[in-house]
Amino acid sequence: MILAMEPMSQELRRQGGGNGAGVAGVSWFSTVVPLKVTYQEWEWFQWHTRYDAQAIANAIAYAEGARIPILNASFESSQEYAPIKAQIENYQGLFVCAAGNGGGDLSNTSAWPAKWHLSNMIVVGASDSNDSPAQFSNYSSSLVDVFAPGTGIVSCYPTALASGGVATLAGTSQATPFVSGTAALLASQYPSLMNVPSLRASILGNVSSVSSLSSKCATGGRLNANWAISNPYHIHVYDRGYQYSTPVKHLVLCKCGAGTLETHVWDFGNTWWSGSYEYGYCAFCHHSFPLN
């Protein structure tokens, strides 16, 4: 199943949350749209859950058409499927996916979609209670972005299979929603963060560095939702065209926070144009600065 998430409204956030039962999630009042992409198949005297590749591609296309900004993809496939990759590339939101449970280096493992590691994706590995990589989790210093708790996770479960509708589970599928929920929480707290570069930077730029994860993922750390919310990044992309020049892309990174000095990074791309009197403006912190 793919979970499509939208940030909570201001009114719902003011109401607080928690009903005293079940599990308290990361972003309590986000709208969650379950998109079914599996079917059950009877084999060797038991039922098995199978993924329908075309259904996955259709679900991502649906999310794009519905303007749903965050997708949680807690699944992996041992086979590449080009239509799925094409739909992820076309998706304008943040695609958060599981690194897979093969227990090896993702670079040498057949685990898609994580192995594609596209620009709008965050690939999540599973850590244990000691902040070490879970034994089953895939890892990679280049293809896995961050780790999140993925063992002993109290989770909602069908009441027919678990007393009270709650079970303790493990897997990168359990780790991935922590990151998706943090993205939804960020977007609800800071509406200006409703773009992929800002959400990725805010999450991946605020991890808790852990020595045991230093070589296991690109950030070398575990998700820290508190830091992400307290110290968000705001990335603004400007596209301008000039006569006799190729379009110029200004990527301005503004790190806003109380008492924090803003950092500005820009990339003018491949162009002969080398000067500018334009000014960038951060709608969040109200700081303006020259793009030069």
Give the per-residue pLDDT at 274. Answer: 40
Regarding whether 266 and 138 lie in a shared domain, the answer is: no
Q: Which of 235, 284, 236, 281 is nearest to 257 (CA)?
A: 284
Give the H or E element holding residue 83.
Answer: helix 82-90
CA 169, CA 173: separation in Å to the nearest integer? 9
Same domain, 143 and 155: yes
Could you say which of 186, 216, 231 is where a domain stops?
A: 231
Are the C-beta atoms of 275 and 285 separated by less than 8 Å? no
Q: What are phi and psi of 234, to 5 degrees?
A: -120, 115
Instruction: State whether 37 and 91 are in the same domain.
Output: yes
- Selection from 204, 198, 199 nearest residue 223 by Cα: 204
Based on the domain organization, do 282 and 169 belong to the same domain? no
| Total domains in the fold of the chain | 2
- Yes or no: say if 164 and 145 are a contact pair by the CB < 8 Å rule: no
Same domain, 285 and 180: no
Whether residue 286 sits in one domain with residue 213: no
* Distance from C-alpha of 194 to C-alpha of 214, rounded to nearest angstrom: 29
DSSP 218-236: SS-EE--HHHHHHS-EEEE
Mean pLDDT in residue range 269-288: 43
Residue 225 has pLDDT above 90, yes or no: yes
What is the distance between the alpha carbons of residues 94 and 13, in angstroms, rounded to a whole number?
22
Q: Domain check: are 46 and 151 in the same one?
A: yes
- Domain with 250, as residue range(s), is 235-290
pLDDT top residue among 285 and 67 = 67
* Claim to verify: residue 226 and residue 256 sit in the same structural domain: no
More confident residue, 75 or 14: 75
What is the three-class DSSP state of 89?
Answer: helix
pLDDT above 50 for 221: yes
- Where does a domain end: 231, 252, 271? 231
- Report the pLDDT value the prediction gives residue 277, as an integer from 0 to 100: 35
Q: Answer yes or no: do 96 and 192 share one domain.
A: yes
CATH of the domain at 36: 3.40.50.200
| Domain end among 181, 214, 231 | 231
Instruction: Give tens-digit pLDDT for 122-148.
Output: 999 999 999 999 999 999 999 999 999
Q: How far is CA 198 from the centre of its chain?
A: 11
Q: pTM for the complete prediction?
A: 0.79
Tell me the DSSP string of 167-217: EEE-SHHHHHHHHHHHHHHHHHH-GGG-SHHHHHHHHHTT-EE-GGGTTTS
Residues 260 and 163 in one domain: no
Higher-confidence residue of 257 and 255: namely 255
Report the percent of the chain where pLDDT is more than 90. Answer: 49
Q: Is the same domain home to 258 and 224? A: no
The answer to whether 227 and 237 are in contact (CB under 8 A) is no
DSSP one-letter string for 121-170: EEEEEEE-TTSSB-TT--B-TTT--EEEE-SSEEEE--TTTSGGGEEEE-
266 and 281 fall within a common domain = yes
Is residue 30 within 8 Å of 6, Cβ to Cβ?
Answer: yes
